């Protein structure tokens, strides 16, 4: 079998663009994706799935309709399916996303920040 250990830092060195998740691994029907975030993202919702955010470096905010949360390095948050959210980060932040294969980063809102959901690094 292929014995590929995935190092998050090495993978992050391979791209610099913000808000464009890159796939690093597959677990059954799920993808693990790395994303660099900075500034404000689009309000959106994933109607069919929960979405996991793990902060690997920096600080990530997620606006929710009833307030916001702040995630630091070593913290996890699950946005439940159907919950409108808007990620943001004052400074660049590195995040691991875990979600079903094919999930679009902007969910139900297609726009300038919509990125391909099938790019591996």
In the complex, which residues of this chain contact a copy of itself (CB under 8 A)? Answer: 1, 3-9, 24-28, 30, 32, 49-52, 56, 64, 66-67, 69-72, 74-78, 80-81, 83, 98-100
Please report how close the Cβ of residue 112 comes to a copy of itself at its closest, in angstroms.
28
Count other Cβ atoms within 10 Å, centred on residue 64.
Answer: 13
Please report how close the Cβ of residue 52 comes to a copy of itself at its closest, in angstroms.
5
Whole-angstrom distance, CA of residue 79 vs CA of residue 54: 11
Q: 72 vs 90, which CB is nearer to a copy of itself?
A: 72
Whole-angstrom distance, CA of residue 37 vs CA of residue 71: 13
User: Which stretch of DSSP H or E encloses residue 8?
Assistant: helix 8-12
Q: 9 vs 108, which CB is nearer to a copy of itself?
A: 9
Torsion angle (degrees, nearest 10) of CA 94, 55, 63, 115: 40
Please report how close the Cβ of residue 81 comes to a copy of itself at its closest, in angstroms.
8
Q: 20 vs 98, which CB is nearer to a copy of itself?
A: 98
């Amino acid at each position: 079998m292929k014995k590929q250990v995935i190092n998050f830092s090495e993978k992050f060195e391979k791209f610099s663009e913000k808000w464009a998740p890159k796939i690093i691994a597959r677990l059954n029907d799920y993808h693990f994706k790395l994303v660099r975030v900075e500034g404000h993202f689009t309000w959106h919702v994933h109607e069919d799935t929960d979405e996991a955010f793990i902060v690997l470096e920096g600080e990530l905010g997620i606006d929710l309709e009833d307030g916001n949360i702040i995630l630091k390095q070593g913290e996890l948050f699950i946005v439940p399916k159907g919950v409108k959210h808007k990620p943001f980060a004052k400074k660049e932040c590195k995040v691991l996303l875990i979600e079903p294969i094919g999930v679009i980063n902007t969910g139900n809102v297609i726009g300038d920040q919509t990125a391909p959901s099938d790019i591996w690094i």
